[in-house]
Amino acid sequence: SQQGEEDPQALSIQEGENATMNCSYKTSINNLQWYRQNSGRGLVHLILIRSNEREKHSGRLRVTLDTSKKSSSLLITASRAADTASYFCATALGTGNQFYFGTGTSLTVIP
Amino acid sequence: DGGITQSPKYLFRKEGQNVTLSCEQNLNHDAMYWYRQDPGQGLRLIYYSQIVNDFQKGDIAEGYSVSREKKESFPLTVTSAQKNPTAFYLCASSIKRQETQYFGPGTRLLVL
């Protein structure tokens, strides 16, 4: 089964509003990463947060990590139409080499 | 211009045919990965390689093969044994394991 699960599956908001999406995972992680994918394109890395970190910021993006709840959230503030995309979390476990991707949240920002 | 490239953008496969997807990177990354993405789904790992001449199976390696003869190149062959190959294939690289992955633009494989 997949390690990461995003919630909600789909989100539609007006331009200027904030968008929050969540990721839950099942086992202890070394780090968690968020990626964006525009339709039919490759993934673009947004933020990496390590297991000993609780919050990271990058521009309009804020990521939190709660290892006790095995969950992370991605907040996009002041959303723009260009933020319309699918957002995936990916977890890196133990000493393994793999990342485990969730099924993604599809975000639509309405101009 | 540093980056990771994939070719072709679209690929058509006939029944019983093997096809090869190209992935090249000039980022000097040690690790490279192949993922498969089905509509509305997340990414599933096919194969990964941490170093030249070494690669490991991912979760869905059956019907696929890879090689890593050069650091820059990690081609994926979809064999005739893969009965449901229609999908979007993504190649990625990272400087080392568990670090940020950089993705190519993808190859969409369709069956005729």
Name the maximum alpha-carbon separation found in chain A: 44
Q: Are A38 and A52 in contact (CB under 8 A)?
A: no
What distance in Å separates the CA atoms of residue B90 and residue B33, rounded to the nearest whole number?
8
Q: How far is B17 from chain A (nearest CA, A)?
A: 25
Q: Span A2-19, mean pLDDT?
A: 90
Q: How far is A65 from chain B (nearest CA, A)?
A: 17
The SS3 assignment for A83 reads: helix
In the numeric block, the tokens 């202890």 are attached to A28
Q: Give the count of beta carbons closer than 10 Å to the beta carbon of residue A51.
A: 13
Q: Are A32 and A3 in contact (CB under 8 A)?
A: no
Q: Span B26-55, mean pLDDT?
A: 93
Contact status of B38 with chain A (Cβ, < 8 Å): no
What distance in Å separates the CA atoms of residue A104 and residue A4, rounded to the nearest whole number?
9
Task: Read off the tokens for A21.
Answer: 């999406």
Residues of B in contact with A4 (CB under 8 A): 42
Q: Cβ contact (<8 Å) for B105 and A103?
A: no
Q: Give pLDDT, residue A95.
A: 67
CA dihedral B59, B61, B63, B67 (to 10 degrees): 160
Q: Give pLDDT, residue B41.
A: 81
Q: Span A3-8, mean pLDDT?
A: 83
A4-7 and A19-25 strand pairing: antiparallel
Q: Give pLDDT, residue A10.
A: 96
Strand residues in B18-80 grouped as ranges (E): 19-25, 31-37, 43-51, 54-57, 64-66, 76-78
B contact test, residue of A97, A98, A101, A103 with most B CBs within 10 A: A97
- Which one, of A33, A55, A29, A32, lies nearest residue A46 by Cα? A33
User: Predicted confidence band at A1 (pLDDT cuts at 50, 70, 90)?
Assistant: very low
> Residues of chain B with pLDDT > 70: what percent?
98
Q: Cβ contact (<8 Å) for A99 and B45?
A: yes
What pLDDT, in 10s, does the model give residues A65-80? 999 999 999 999 999 9
User: Predicted confidence band at B54 (pLDDT cuts at 50, 70, 90)?
Assistant: very high
Q: Span B9-34, mean pLDDT?
A: 94
Question: Is residue B92 classed exposed, middle or buried when 0-12, 13-18 and 19+ CB atoms within 10 A define those classes?
Answer: buried
Q: Is the pLDDT of residue A53 over 60?
A: yes
